Chain A
């Protein structure tokens, strides 16, 4: 074979190989690929918790791709976008996110995402799924922004009904609410519980809503009033600084009144800010999501699986649980959308429709969330609501109660 022939043969071989490779039924071609946009705050006010929350939700999507995605022939890609928890930043990023990813869903972080995109998402036909509880001011029908948990007021009302039973009270359980006008969300949380108390005077009496700064100077005088009014609990769903200042003011007044916290300012975070969880002895946290304590529970087993096989580096805490619960219900909704429409040509609108097509069971979210029944009436489930309650006992966070019923809280 002369040189020319050898070259011709090699050229033909290479061409044949290229043709064969390019026309082979590769895995990528057999799969449908969809994109998820994740809105994140790695440099703003939630920068300290963001890597943990992001780790939780990303690990769930990786797990889904490796298990259900493989079965269904679907790959979910995701990308984080830095918003600095700033509505203006979110608004400016959004056109780029749409053109770059054309996402079928957005995983949001908080209020600025809702403020920036709440009005645009219906037009763009892309749903956004949050990890937090909902808000009264966002309680509207036909929403494109969804929360897996009801409002913070639902969650506190659920806790207070539990506390009333626990204390064996015939009359209402008396509470004070710590709020701040620094955020509309904080005011909303207070208004919701006030409305519930007004409509259910036999269950809850709000003796006072104390408005303060996000870093209070001193709350001794305010807490003195609260203590004198004989409250059974203080509800704080704002931030950890207010929790610590309230705790110190209660201690200064020699009062041993329990505080109820939410997930974002929960016992681990507030305990850390106060110098240790033991500082919050006897205090509670309550929310409609799994409580991150170790044990033979489905959420913890799921966390261990994600840590061991899917590169989840975050510790097992409430923030990781928020990220995991967010990821879990988002992939479950997408799973439903694929079941309803097939794996191809999935759109944001089809994903949103799937949310209303049937319940997302607690088994589907590995126990991270209770069974969720979304309807177009509200951006969060309104029926079958449950909360879990944890408490600090002997310096450790333990589960106090699970699947506590949440009463009906009317719109405010």
Chain B
């Protein structure tokens, strides 16, 4: 029964990683930019939720929608200020901007909210769900459901709707997309808005009932192996990749950590990531690009 519990918990943690990784993928799909500041978007979203719920004292069910709208606006602003001027420039330049954005967001949050550790509101029930001997944390269970809904919805959006297909075309080539009458600016802005909202949703699930500090941005790096494992273009693949990575991490934490006496569970996702990059650099479901020479 313990084994099953570790598997379920691991899978749910993996789905949380998948939700954060969805932010990576959405932005990558629309702009071919790997956003190194994804973890910082998570803490920015976390601080917005904290501010609306604790500082403004709003009811949680009002604070959360307002926070999601505010983070969408923050995503839009980030794209307008930092990235819109770089359309048509090399991808490397845009990636370096996201590194700068990482540093900027940390400084900005420090300046605006201060360095103190904050309590995060209890959004989901603290009492876990008990099914016989199984114990399932409610925040992860509900979060897992949200992740699956988001993945299905975004997959449909990108593959079946006109705006989604336009964003995909933008990811292929900015110049070609522009020549076809697609607004590259709007597509990339939409990707950053979606990325920022997903990050805030990730922050709510991750931090519910816990504490909010800069350290929370580390989850951006924890989600990285899931994004690379799935393939940076695959939203649906994130679910499978998240579950595999999460279960591997959970089992390593349960069975290897006590033997080895270290945090092998923490390292496990990165071991998987390195293995995948060696065998299949495009990930499980990443696009294979065929180039004519």
A residues in contact (CB < 8 Å) with B = 43, 45, 47-48, 180-181, 208-215, 217-218, 220-222, 224-225, 239-241, 244-245, 248, 251-253, 269, 272-276
CA–CA, A11 to B243, complex, Å? 92
**Pair B218/A214 contact, Cβ less than 8 Å:** yes
| Chain A residues closer than 8 Å to B219, beta-carbon distance | 215, 217
- Per-residue A-contact encoding for B255-271, CB less than 8 Å = 1, 0 else: 00110011101100000
Minimum CB–CB distance for B146 against chain A, Å: 16
**Pair A211/B257 contact, Cβ less than 8 Å:** yes
Of B5, B110, B137, B266, the contact of A213 (CB 8 Å cutoff): B266
CA–CA, A214 to B115, complex, Å? 16
**Pair B9/A218 contact, Cβ less than 8 Å:** yes
| Chain B residues closer than 8 Å to A244, beta-carbon distance | 119, 209-211
Minimum CB–CB distance for B242 against chain A, Å: 12
Given contacts A221-B253, A224-B2, A273-B118, could you give 6 more A-B pairs where the C-beta distance is less than 8 Å?
Answer: A213-B263, A215-B216, A221-B254, A225-B258, A241-B211, A248-B126
Minimum CB–CB distance for A206 against chain B, Å: 11
**Pair B213/A241 contact, Cβ less than 8 Å:** yes
B222 at the interface (CB under 8 A from A): yes
Minimum CB–CB distance for A316 against chain B, Å: 18
Give how many A-B residue pairs fall within 8 Å (CB-CB).
103
| Chain B residues closer than 8 Å to A209, beta-carbon distance | 261
CA–CA, A239 to B215, complex, Å? 11
Q: Nearest 10 A-B pairs (CB), nearest first? A: A211-B263, A273-B211, A275-B119, A215-B215, A47-B115, A48-B115, A48-B116, A273-B117, A244-B211, A252-B128
23 contacts between A and B (CB under 8 A): A181-B262, A210-B257, A211-B265, A211-B266, A213-B266, A215-B210, A215-B218, A215-B219, A218-B9, A218-B13, A220-B135, A221-B5, A221-B254, A222-B253, A240-B117, A244-B209, A248-B209, A248-B210, A251-B127, A252-B135, A252-B137, A273-B117, A276-B119
**Pair B211/A274 contact, Cβ less than 8 Å:** yes
Of A211, A215, A217, A274, the contact of B262 (CB 8 Å cutoff): A211
| Chain B residues closer than 8 Å to A221, beta-carbon distance | 5-6, 9, 250, 253-254
CA–CA, A275 to B53, complex, Å? 13
**Pair B115/A212 contact, Cβ less than 8 Å:** no
B181 at the interface (CB under 8 A from A): no
**Pair B213/A215 contact, Cβ less than 8 Å:** yes
**Pair B266/A218 contact, Cβ less than 8 Å:** no
**Pair B119/A224 contact, Cβ less than 8 Å:** no
Q: Which of A209, A214, A220 has the most CB of B within 10 A?
A: A220
Looking across the interface, which residue of chain A has its beta carbon closest to that of B206? A217
Within 8 A of A (CB), among B1-29: 2, 5-6, 9, 13, 16
| Chain B residues closer than 8 Å to A273, beta-carbon distance | 117-119, 211, 213
Minimum CB–CB distance for B181 against chain A, Å: 44
Looking across the interface, which residue of chain A has its beta carbon closest to that of B212? A273
Minimum CB–CB distance for A278 against chain B, Å: 12
CA–CA, A143 to B211, complex, Å? 37
B284 at the interface (CB under 8 A from A): no
| Chain A residues closer than 8 Å to B2, beta-carbon distance | 224
B41 at the interface (CB under 8 A from A): no
**Pair A48/B218 contact, Cβ less than 8 Å:** no
**Pair B210/A241 contact, Cβ less than 8 Å:** yes
Minimum CB–CB distance for B244 against chain A, Å: 16
| Chain A residues closer than 8 Å to B115, beta-carbon distance | 45, 47-48
B140 at the interface (CB under 8 A from A): yes
**Pair A245/B266 contact, Cβ less than 8 Å:** no
**Pair A272/B6 contact, Cβ less than 8 Å:** no
**Pair A272/B117 contact, Cβ less than 8 Å:** yes
**Pair B110/A181 contact, Cβ less than 8 Å:** no
Of B6, B118, B119, B135, the contact of A253 (CB 8 Å cutoff): B135
Minimum CB–CB distance for B120 against chain A, Å: 8
B132 at the interface (CB under 8 A from A): no
**Pair A212/B266 contact, Cβ less than 8 Å:** yes
Minimum CB–CB distance for A189 against chain B, Å: 14
| Chain B residues closer than 8 Å to A251, beta-carbon distance | 126-127
Within 8 A of A (CB), among B74-131: 110, 114-119, 122, 126-128
| Chain A residues closer than 8 Å to B257, beta-carbon distance | 210-211
| Chain B residues closer than 8 Å to A241, beta-carbon distance | 117, 210-211, 213, 215-216
CA–CA, A47 to B122, complex, Å? 26
CA–CA, A45 to B122, complex, Å? 25
CA–CA, A180 to B218, complex, Å? 14
Looking across the interface, which residue of chain A has its beta carbon closest to that of B6? A221
Of B13, B211, B214, B263, the contact of A180 (CB 8 Å cutoff): B263
